[in-house]
Structure 1
Amino acid sequence: MNDFLNQMELVGDWLTSSAQWHGDEGIPSRLVEHLTYSGLSLLFAALIGLAFGLLVGHTGRGAFAVASVANLARAIPTFGLVVLVVTLAGLSTTPVLVALVALAVPPILINTFEGVRGVDPATRDAARGVGMTEWEVLIRVEVPMALPLILLGLRVAAIQVVATATVAAYPGLGGLGRYIVDGLSRNDYGLVIGGSAVVVALALVVQVVFTALRRVVVSPGLRVSTAKS
């Protein structure tokens, strides 16, 4: 217990030190780097996952391929992928982005696909019956009804990316993972725990943001039905 309290005291001292809030190695600078890796990765993953999820969910074609690709991507170790791409492409942000995109695509793709596929067929038929085109059926009917699952996939992906973006530090790049890597190399566990605490806090903020977003963009009826299911 005393060791734990001592470590917490070290973390508190580290977080409250003015040196940690200024300069290129300060928390604000590392946070910007971390959010840059995370944001770009989530953007690319969303473009891929949403596009294919909506297409396959609407047409019903390629469902087996979607599931297979998503499961394969889940099986790829993120750190191993970073090391492999660094070895092949050299030190840059590319390995980190490739690994994080591969991590983020599956939950977005699967949840988007399942959300669209789960729309009541009678609702689709009614939309077509009033003269909607297939594009209008997708955008005005299927997407709004699938939105709870789509946002769930985006939230899961965002939290995973924020937590895993610490791997950017292993090939020598920045981000909040720099504190963990440097702390381990120096046997400075206060630095390791402090950096980890900042990552956890950021993941919690992402959770809160998506919870608030869900309340804003999802209709109350769909929120209730999703909560009951």
Structure 2
Amino acid sequence: MEGFSVIQEIMTYFQNSMNQYIGLLMTHLLISFKALFWATIIGLPLGYLSFRVKILAELFQTGSQLLRIIPSLAVLFILIPLVGVGEFPALIALTFLAIPAILINTALGFHEVPVITKEVARGIGMNQKQLFRRIEVPLAMPYILNGLKLALVEILASATLATYIGAGGLGTLIFTGLGLYRMDLLLIGGGTVTLLSLISIALFDFIIRKVQKNHV
């Protein structure tokens, strides 16, 4: 009976507050994709640089590991004295949290390009730009996409914590549910984030399989 009651409460919420839900969902998606965009802009070139320059590789790898072990909430609170509250500090925090996955997988992808393949390409007259565009990038792309997938899942989950500093999103439902002991809000907020993550994983896995199939 309790489970049925929760289902009724969920249905009632959607009947009465659908506009609020859509607004929170759009806010969550918007800040997540903004963070993924900036993390990609930063992470891809750094990943390639770490592949090309050994000293930078060690520096970037160490920095990425440090970012990975710092709790998401700690990053958000560290930024409050520097840039205040709201969407901007949340965007900065989410971007930095997403960079390690992109950076590491980008470097790994370029490292995994077979040396013999590059030697054959040079042997038929390809210069470095052609080698990069036609051989290295296509073969590294599955790893790069995997990094983007991991980064997006990290962002979607961590964006719920951005509610703590006034950035809005689905975390509003989760923390309101916790404060009011509303299981329906917890399930709606947490369930939506879980569903978004699963959809992201499935979509990226589909694209990765397509890319791999085209370069077999």
TM-score, length-scaled by structure 1: 0.86
* Helix, strand or coil at the partner of 1:91: coil
Matches within 5 A, 1:1-229: 6-7=2-3, 9-11=5-7, 13-15=9-11, 17-22=14-19, 26-58=20-52, 60=54, 62-220=56-214, 222=216
- What's the CA shift string for 1:144-174, capped at 9, x where partnerless? 1111211111111111111111011111221
Aligned-partner Cα distance in 1 for 2:92–2:36: 11
Residue 165 of structure 2 aligns to a residue whose secondary structure is coil
Are residues 15 and 210 of structure 1, via their aligned partners in 2, closer, same or farther at CA, if it must alter by over 3 Å? farther
1: CA distance, partners of 2:21 / 2:160 = 14
| Counterpart residue identity of residue 123, structure 1 | T
Bigger proportion of residues as helix: 2
Mean Cα deviation higher: 213-222 or 180-189: 213-222
Q: Structure 1 CA distance, aligned partners of 2:8 and 2:91?
A: 32
Amino acid in the other structure paired with 1:103: L
Deviation at residue 219 of structure 1 after TM alignment = 2.7
**Amino acid in the other structure paired with 1:29:** G
Q: Which amino acid aligns with 2:37?
A: L
User: In the aligned structure 2, how far is the partner of 1:41 from the partner of 1:6?
Assistant: 39
Aligned amino acid, residue 71 of structure 2: P
CA RMSD of aligned residues (A): 1.9
Counterpart of 2:70 in structure 1: which amino acid? I
Inter-partner Cα distance in structure 2 for 1:129 and 1:96: 49
* Structure 1 residues 13 and 186: CA distance shift in structure 2, 3 A: closer
Do the aligned partners of residues 50 and 195 (structure 1) sit closer, same or farther apart at CA in structure 2, a change above 3 Å counting? same
User: Contact 1:107–1:156 (CA<8 Å) still a contact in 2?
Assistant: yes
Aligned-residue offset at 1:15: 4.3
Q: 1:57-87 CA deviation, whole Å, 9 max, x = no partner? A: 2455522112111111112221111112123
8 Å contact kept, 1:79–1:99? no
- Contact between 1:45 and 1:101, CA under 8 Å: does it hold in 2? yes
Residue type of the alignment partner of 1:199: V
**Measured at CA, do residues 189 and 173 of structure 1 come closer, stay the same or move farther in structure 2, by a change above 3 Å?**
same
Counting aligned pairs with the same residue, the percent is 33
TM-score of the pair, normalised by structure 2:
0.90
Whole-angstrom CA distance in 1 between matches of 2:91 and 2:215? 37
Per-residue displacement from partner, 1:85-106 (whole Å, max 9, x unpaired)? 1232212212211211121111
